[in-house]
Structure 1
Amino acid sequence: MGLLFPAIMCGVFCYLGAIESAPLFGITGSFYGVGRPLVAGLLCGLVFGDVTQGVLCGVAVQAVFIANLSTGGATNSEITYASYGGIGLAMATTKDPAVAVTLSVLVGQTFGLIFYNTRMAAYSFFNNGAQKAAEENNDRGITLWHVVYPQICTFFLRAVPVFLAIYFGQGLVDSLLNSVPEIVTHIISVLGGVLPALGIGMLMNIVVKDKIQLVFFFAGFVLLSFAGLSMVAIVFIAVLVAYLVYLSSAKVAAPAVEASGTANSADAAYEDDDLF
């Protein structure tokens, strides 16, 4: 009975974190709020009674998926399933962030994608019903096919699988971790620690446009590892440096824009409108 309530709440949060739940919280509050691993770690920590470990698991999983992108509706991992399925299952077993990362990747890239694509297929059926209701000027039918039925479908495809995975998967995960050799458990922990670094690397590949910008990342690493500064202090330093770089870039760009505008004005003075 002790696992029933946390499993139910993780399933409900997985539903509330879906982009389809936007009518409840808006896209920012649902998909970009409740659906993020960092928030999922906090919520899972609250329902399992260990906020510290929940947040640590959330931070680790967030680092893995920090550069996760969906292009044209296609995605390589379903982040909401990964958040609540992986973190919730880890909180029900070891509460180890490395295990949470491994489980999140496994859940997000297997079961998450299966149910994600199932939802996409079901929604095409709902769209046909909504279109037919619109052609018949059936307001009630439009509401049912466009809002009610999709929400019910989303709830069952998100809340139920996550609940079942956490409630019945605890024993399976515990038995696997207890039965496998220690070297395998160590490999899982090592890989779980490497995956967040891979996520940060993918993010840097997107953000860094010029190799000279890597200097700022190395400076932050030195300040954290050797100078002993806290992360909060480094954030303030980073904000000041970013502001100085912005000011210097603006001062360099302004004369170039003015020169370009002057040249265009000079060219315009010699233009003959009758020629065009």
Structure 2
Amino acid sequence: MTLIQALLIALFGYLSSNYSPWVFGQLGGWYTMGRPLVSGLIIGLILGDVRTGILMGAAVQTLYIGLVTPGLSMPADLNFAAYMGIPLAMVAGASTEYALSLSVPLSFLGVSLVYVVASVNVYWVRKQEQWIEQGKIKKAANAPIYASISQFIARFVPIFLACYFGQDFIISVVQAIPTWLGDTFVIFGKMLPAVGFAMLLRFVLSKNIELVYFFVGFIMIAVLKMPIVAATMVACFLAYLDIRYTAKKENELEVEVDE
């Protein structure tokens, strides 16, 4: 990985981090470029291997597909998992499963840095309040920019150092891993996306009948090998029937209440 590539990856890692204001706020940063699927595309473009970048990004995305981050409660940091795990796995020539295994501890490291930055930025909140009381409106308006400096240090610097100086270390580690341990990483890496889908189903499924729909879809794709388009058409038909049945049932209940 060249110096320019490491700088670009670190820059996008900062721009897509949580609370970074520069790319249409959180909408363009955290919720778009910060998603591993999009991150994989960006990293693939920078490293010149878009296909591998997207594949690794999609794999990491499945792990965190059911992740919910209310407020500042973050069980994992997708930004760190993607912008450090994916490029390091790519330059090491590792498999998608290695990228998944690498992204998990990095996501926890990212969460720790988020809380450190939040604690440091309390200072700027107090300074902003003081400037407002003193009538220094221009300084108060620039307080978020000052606060973004700590965010830049906590994101850009570690991602750049890991990508530029850590690539040789990662390559040597991957090459030194015994076959049995590498196979273990592959097995756990293949299991991790199932954890992501389980987290998603936990939030999405609210009625038992919805679990039936899930298994019907699984059978169509995994067992019957139906094309995605055909399975989508069946899903739309079932969704239409469910909506019609639910609406009819609600109307009947309203009529009974009125009577």
Q: Paired residue for 1:247, among 240, 244, 249? A: 244
Contact 1:22 1:31 in 2 (8 A): no
Distance 2:161 2:230 in 1: 43
Distance 1:236 1:12 in 2: 41
Q: Paired residue for 1:230, among 220, 227, 231? A: 227
Q: Deviations over 1:174-201 (max 9, x none)?
A: 1111112111011111111101111101
Give how far 1:54 is off.
0.9
- Percent identical residues: 31
For 1:114, the aligned partner's letter is S
Contact 1:60 1:196 in 2 (8 A): yes
Contact 1:87 1:100 in 2 (8 A): yes
Question: 2:114 maps to what in 1?
Answer: 116
> Are 2:18 and 1:19 equivalent residues in the alignment?
yes
Question: 1:104 maps to what in 2?
Answer: 103
Extract unaligned runs of 5+ from structure 1: 264-276
For 1:217, the aligned partner's letter is F
Distance 2:4 2:233 in 1: 40
> Are 2:130 and 1:132 equivalent residues in the alignment?
yes
Question: 2:89 maps to what in 1?
Answer: 90
Distance 1:250 1:28 in 2: 34
Question: 2:195 maps to what in 1?
Answer: 198
Q: TM-score, normalized by length of structure 1?
A: 0.88
Give how far 1:244 is off.
2.3
Give how far 1:96 is off.
1.9
Distance 1:49 1:239 in 2: 38
Distance 2:2 2:234 in 1: 44
Distance 2:20 2:102 in 1: 25
For 2:123, the aligned partner's letter is F
Distance verdict in 2 for CA 1:53–1:133, change over 3 Å: same
Extract unaligned runs of 5+ from structure 2: none
Matches within 5 A, 1:20-39: 20-39=19-38
Q: Quick check: which has more Rg, 1 or 2?
A: 1
Distance 2:62 2:197 in 1: 6
Question: 2:148 maps to what in 1?
Answer: 151
Give how far 1:23 is off.
4.9
Q: TM-score, normalized by length of structure 2?
A: 0.93
